[in-house]
């Protein structure tokens, strides 16, 4: 099965700024990787584009957003981009998807001996050399913030963790973070909070819980 990576409802639409904000990654790094690797070397490998133009800004889908985080962790550990891309290509062929770093088995199979990063796959172990130690806990925490579909690819992301109500779901509101099971943007709640409205009043107005109000405020403060 090869997933379609096109600009349409259900795939999510995330600009560089939104990727940076949701994943809390440096804007410059996200922009560089998108330009050089997703539409550059990865695009060449699969004869396709991984991003599109939206209002004069590049945008990607949900699975590319998930892959950004994983690949950035490898980069921070000192793994050369060429090695990351090679692993991406090998795993893509094994799992028959252009988004292997959004695959449950891959994320669950990442480990390190302190010197090398290993990726377990049905065809064996792929090793990546790094100059610095990978903080494996970052990957584990990220893994716990994801829900996976029946195809074992990431389906939802919870920026604050699953114990909080903020959800990133590519099938709702073009993938923009929302509050719980509603289509309410966290920013809508946060703007009322900044205007001085108490959580109880906001919760009553939007028919959500006070905890969901507090989650929205927390998300916006951290993402600012």
Structural domain contains residue 2: no
Kindly state the DSSP code that residue 103 receives in the 8-state scheme: B
pLDDT band at 2 (very low <50, low <70, confident <90, very high): very low
* Domain stops at, among 99, 124, 144: 144
Which residues are CB-contacts of 148 (< 8 A; sequence separation ≥ 6)? 104, 154, 155
Nearest residue to 130 (alpha-carbon basis) of 84, 79, 87? 79
Structural domain contains residue 4: no
User: Are residues 104 and 41 part of one domain?
Assistant: yes
* Domain stops at, among 121, 144, 167: 144
- Structural domain count, the chain: 2
User: Are residues 120 and 21 part of one domain?
Assistant: yes
Confirm whether pTM is higher than 0.85: yes
User: Are residues 124 and 57 part of one domain?
Assistant: yes
Kindly state the DSSP code that residue 55 receives in the 8-state scheme: T
**Position 186 pLDDT exceeds 90:** yes
Structural domain contains residue 9: no
Q: Which of 23-37, 122-136, 182-196 has the lowest mean pLDDT?
A: 23-37
**Position 1 pLDDT exceeds 50:** no
Per-residue pLDDT, 7: 54
User: Are residues 198 and 138 part of one domain?
Assistant: no
Structural domain contains residue 161: no
Per-residue pLDDT, 118: 94
pLDDT band at 45 (very low <50, low <70, confident <90, very high): low
**Position 195 pLDDT exceeds 80:** yes
Structural domain contains residue 163: no
Bridge partners of 52, per DSSP, are 59
Domain holding 80, by residue range, is: 14-144
- Return the percentage of the chain with pLDDT > 90, whole number: 58
Say how far apart CA 58 and CA 13 lie, in whole Å.
Answer: 10
Q: Across residues 178-189, what is the average pLDDT?
A: 97
Structural domain contains residue 7: no
């Amino acid at each position: 099965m090869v997933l379609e990576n096109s600009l349409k409802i259900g795939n999510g639409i995330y600009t560089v700024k939104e990727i940076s904000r949701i994943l809390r990654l440096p804007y410059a790094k996200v922009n560089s990787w998108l330009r050089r690797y997703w539409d550059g070397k990865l695009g060449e490998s699969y004869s396709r584009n991984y991003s599109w133009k939206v209002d004069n800004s590049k945008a990607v889908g949900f699975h590319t957003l998930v892959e950004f985080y994983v690949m950035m962790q490898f980069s921070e550990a000192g793994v050369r981009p060429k090695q990351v891309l090679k692993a991406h290509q090998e795993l893509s062929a094994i799992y028959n998807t252009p988004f292997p770093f959004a695959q449950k088995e891959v994320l669950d199979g990442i480990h390190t001996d302190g010197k090398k990063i290993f990726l377990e796959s049905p065809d064996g172990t792929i090793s990546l050399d790094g100059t610095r130690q990978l903080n494996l806990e970052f990957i584990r925490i990220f893994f716990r913030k994801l829900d996976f579909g029946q195809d074992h690819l990431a389906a939802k992301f919870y920026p604050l963790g699953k114990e909080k109500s903020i959800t990133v779901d590519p099938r709702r509101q073009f993938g923009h973070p929302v509050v719980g099971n509603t289509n309410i943007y966290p920013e809508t709640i946060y703007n009322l909070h900044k205007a001085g409205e108490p959580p109880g009043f906001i919760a009553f107005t939007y028919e959500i819980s006070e905890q969901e109000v507090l989650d929205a405020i927390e998300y916006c403060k951290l993402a600012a």
